Amino acid sequence: MYLKKQFSDFGAKVLNELENSEHISLSLVAEQTTYTRYSQSKIRQTTFVDQAQINISLIINGRNLDAKINFDGENQALNIKNFLDILKEAKEKSKQLPVSNTVVLPLKPAESIQEKHSGQSLSKDIHNDILALVKNEDFVGMLVSGSFTNGFMNSAGASHWFESNSFYLDYSIYSKEQKAVKSCYAGNKWNQDEYKENISKSLSSLNKLSLPTQKIKPGKYKTYLAPAAVQELIQMMSWGALSARSYKLGFCGLKKVYDGEVKLSEKFSLKEDFKTGFSPRFNSFGEVAPQQVPLIEKGILKSFLVSTLTAKEHTNLKTNFANSSEHLRSPVVSKGTIEDKDILKQIGTGLYVSNFHYLNWSDMSYGRITGMTRFACFWVEDAKIKGPINNLRFDETLFNIFGKNLIGLTKKTEIIPKIMSYERRHIGAIVVPGILVDNFSYNL
């Protein structure tokens, strides 16, 4: 396994440098990724990145002191030197800084996670394979492929490893009218037939975009949100609505639900589900989350994401081994009963929204979010697609969307991979259905 031995040797040397009262957790994050950027069905830029970093969490004299250094698999002496510089600095900081709000000493969990998900390298003809099917289209997107590694060890003896090799092609295809469809093809092994089917589906949606554009005024409309749009809303929940710490500090978008002032629909359930295998089950403290962590069950907010740090500070909360950031890692929204073939019939007259763009809280205390529709969004009349729309701004609350206005969810769910790549490639995926919502509010 890539860097496993080097990481293990590094950890052993590092532990020898600590005093008895000092504690440490080490998390290795490494990637070897090729990013190819397409625009106008040609190649705009190609970048290969080979990087590995170690996140270091030290506990010295009641202070949490974190650091991040590069990790060189070929130069252990340099790694140790960098660590010793960090350790020296941390000891100085422990004299300059006040004690931490909370400290949680490293533990050794009962389980040691050792996961490896293999994949096949892409063929040398991959660009031909991709672009041949879209050479007459305006195709723009990014192909990402390579290996990702996450290792963990701590001074209590915990040890975990997660390795995967995968790809995704995240793309959109634009019409002459500047309208577009968006899709993603992802996996461990490229299959040209699967890719062909993916493109074929996109081109079919693109044809519908050439229908006359419908001018829709701001107002409230029955709206179907496709899985890609739903995942944007769930990711917003990750930004302060499901964090126990955020609740305690007054920043929580679902506070009113937790406090019992507002009810969500019993059709809506959300959990962390690590059985999907998209993300490692161990967190940044080396703790191992249960296979499933129910968060919202039939509309009841059962639990926030609670890290052990937060649980220690607020003793009325029980940890469910969330990450220190208390973000969602492997979310799954339960499916419903609406068949795909019935979606237009269920809308009747209203909007079909494929994607959202640029969501943000407009009033977090009331769970209110604003954002834009984007890509293949249509006006539907009497269960027939009439034409695409000019994008609308919405301003709506989570309490309405997943609460009293939730009509239903689709039977089929989609796996949507994480495609963020700030600082490094992020891995994981979300599993979501589409949802049908009544009186969805558009304000611009």
Partner 1 sequence: MIENLKESLKKINIQADWIGLRKVSENTKKVLIRNEKLDTHQSVKNCGIMVEVMVDGHFACSASQDLSQKGIEISAKKAVELAKKSLPHKLYNFTEKQRPQAVGRYPLSQKIDSQSYTEIYSRLIEATKKMKSSSHHIIAAFASTAITESTTEFVSTNGSELKQEKCLIGLDQMVSAEKNGILQHRSNGKKVVQGSFDIFNKNDIYKDSERLANEVLELLDAENCPTNTRDILIMPDQLYLQIHESIGHPLELDRILGDERNYAGWSFVKPDDIGKLKYGSSLLNISFDPHVEGEIASYHFDDTGAFAQKKHLIKDGILVAGIGGLESQARINKPGVAASRATSWNRAPIDRMANINMEAGESTMQQMIENTEKGLLVCTNKSWSIDDFRNKFQFGCEYAKIIKDGQITKTVRNPNYKGSSLNFWRSLKMVGASNTSEAWGSFYCGKGEPNQTIAVGHKTPPALFSDVEVFGGA
Q: Is 5 exposed, middle or buried (0-12, 13-18, 19+ CB in 10 A)?
A: exposed
Our CB check for partner 1 shows the closer of 228 and 333 to be 228
**What is the residue whose two structure tokens read 């695409």?**
388
Q: Which of 59, 65, 344, 347 binds partner 1 (CB under 8 A)?
A: 65
Helix 4-16, helix 76-96: angle, nearest 10: 40
Tell me how far, at minimum, the Cβ of 103 lies from partner 1, in Å.
10
Q: Which of 300, 307, 304, 280 is nearest to 291 (CA)?
A: 280
Our CB check for partner 1 shows the closer of 130 and 234 to be 130
Tell me how far, at minimum, the Cβ of 339 lies from partner 1, in Å.
30
CB atoms within 10 A of CB 105: 12
Interface size with partner 1, residues (CB under 8 A): 90
Tell me how far, at minimum, the Cβ of 119 lies from partner 1, in Å.
19
Q: Which amino acid is at 158?
A: A
Our CB check for partner 1 shows the closer of 105 and 383 to be 105
Q: Which of 1, 45, 219, 382 binds partner 1 (CB under 8 A)?
A: 45
The residues in 259-298 that bind partner 1, with binding defined as CB under 8 A, are none
The residues in 195-224 that bind partner 1, with binding defined as CB under 8 A, are none
Q: Which of 35, 80, 117, 335 binds partner 1 (CB under 8 A)?
A: 35
Query: Cα separation of 205 and 179, whole Å?
Result: 11
The residues in 78-107 that bind partner 1, with binding defined as CB under 8 A, are 82, 85-86, 89-90, 92-93, 96-101
CB atoms within 10 A of CB 147: 19
User: How is residue 414 written in tokens?
Assistant: 């989609």
Query: Cα separation of 15 and 314, whole Å?
Result: 31
How does DSSP assign 392-418, residue by residue?
Answer: -EEEEEHHIIIIITEEEEEEEEEEEE-
Q: Identify the bridge partners of residue 413 per DSSP, sorted by sequence position.
A: 433
Query: Cα separation of 211 and 68, whole Å?
Result: 52
The residues in 168-187 that bind partner 1, with binding defined as CB under 8 A, are 170-172, 174, 178, 180, 182
Query: Cα separation of 404 and 387, whole Å?
Result: 29
The residues in 425-444 that bind partner 1, with binding defined as CB under 8 A, are 425, 443-444
Our CB check for partner 1 shows the closer of 83 and 268 to be 83
Tell me how far, at minimum, the Cβ of 309 lies from partner 1, in Å.
10
Tell me how far, at minimum, the Cβ of 45 lies from partner 1, in Å.
5
Tell me how far, at minimum, the Cβ of 342 lies from partner 1, in Å.
30
Is 43 among the residues that bind partner 1 (CB under 8 A)?
Answer: yes
Is 316 among the residues that bind partner 1 (CB under 8 A)?
Answer: no
Is 250 among the residues that bind partner 1 (CB under 8 A)?
Answer: yes
| Residues in CB range of 273: below 8 A, 6 or more apart | 291, 292, 293, 330, 331, 332, 431
Our CB check for partner 1 shows the closer of 1 and 249 to be 249
Our CB check for partner 1 shows the closer of 191 and 365 to be 365
Our CB check for partner 1 shows the closer of 159 and 354 to be 354
